[in-house]
């Protein structure tokens, strides 16, 4: 187990180091997030939504911004290994699940960094307040993991395909749509302070994350090696 973690940690550290030297994914994520956030806050702002609609609409807008920013940057993780011809050496050197775990951790951290910057900005610009901070943080972390595990698997599939750009969105949408709905419901419940609503949504999000983790563990070695 320790050996697996050390090897996955090496993949994660390598990706982190190369990312901080090139900033390709960070720039794509950041630029998309800030542009979307600026557009939303400029056109809607904190006061153009009726008080009754605020919990649902602001929760939906928050996850739309996070979701589209994630779509812009998280598909790079395997594509760049194929494009730079480093994938064959990685295939020969590392166990498939070590690669998967390292890449998943990298995408999860990248998404967490994005959310750590984006969410406070969103709260300030949109006047977004939550009644249950702990519930909201749990929804963000669980949502971040499930988003990362799903996009990591889809990124691995599309890296082996020829028409990558369109395929990422096409494959991701049906997998991420139910997740997005549960995350919006969970965030709305956190805004309203409904412990039952938060708990229901978290259960659904964690279940989806668990299913995607199991599917990835079974499927990834086949996708990666064939």
Residues within the interface to other proteins (CB under 8 A): 3, 6-7, 10-11, 13-14, 17-18, 21-22, 84-86, 88-95, 98, 226
Comparing CB distances to other proteins, the nearer of 3 and 48 is: 3
- Given the complex with other proteins, which of 87 and 176 has the nearer CB atom? 87
Nearer to other proteins, 13 or 207 (CB): 13
Smallest CA-to-CA distance from 151 within 122, 111, 186, 190 is with 111
How buried is 61 (Cβ within 10 angstroms: 0-12 exposed, 13-18 middle, 19+ buried)? buried
Task: Pick the closer one to other proteins by CB: 94 or 109.
Answer: 94
CA-based angle 68:117:103, to the nearest 5? 60
Phi, psi of 159 (to 5 degrees): -65, -25
In the chain, DSSP finds a helix count (H) and a strand count (E) of 9, 0
Q: What minimum distance in Å lies between the beta carbon of 9 and other proteins?
A: 8
CB of 139 to other proteins, least distance (A): 34
CB of 29 to other proteins, least distance (A): 18
Contact 153, 216 (CB under 8 A): yes
Nearest distance, CB of residue 87 and other proteins, angstroms: 9
């Amino acid at each position: 187990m320790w050996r697996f973690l050390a090897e996955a940690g090496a993949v994660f550290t390598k990706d982190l180091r190369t990312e901080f030297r090139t900033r390709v994914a960070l720039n794509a994520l950041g630029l998309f997030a800030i542009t979307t956030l600026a557009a939303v806050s400029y056109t809607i702002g904190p006061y153009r939504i009726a008080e009754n609609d605020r919990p649902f609409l602001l929760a939906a807008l928050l996850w739309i911004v996070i979701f589209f920013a994630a779509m812009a940057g998280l598909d790079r993780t395997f594509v760049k290994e194929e494009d730079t011809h480093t994938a064959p050496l990685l295939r020969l050197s590392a166990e498939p699940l070590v690669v998967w775990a390292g890449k998943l951790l990298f995408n999860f951290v990248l998404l967490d960094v994005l959310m750590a910057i984006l969410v406070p900005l969103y709260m300030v610009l949109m006047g977004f307040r939550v009644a249950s901070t702990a519930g909201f943080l749990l929804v963000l972390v669980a949502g971040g993991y499930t988003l990362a595990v799903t996009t990591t698997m889809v990124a691995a599939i599309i890296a082996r395909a020829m028409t990558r750009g369109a395929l990422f969105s096409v494959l991701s949408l049906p997998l991420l749509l139910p997740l997005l709905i549960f995350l919006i419901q969970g965030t709305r419940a956190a805004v309203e302070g409904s412990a039952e609503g938060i708990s229901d949504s978290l259960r659904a999000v964690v279940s989806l994350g668990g299913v995607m983790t199991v599917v990835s563990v079974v499927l990834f070695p086949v996708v990666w090696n064939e």
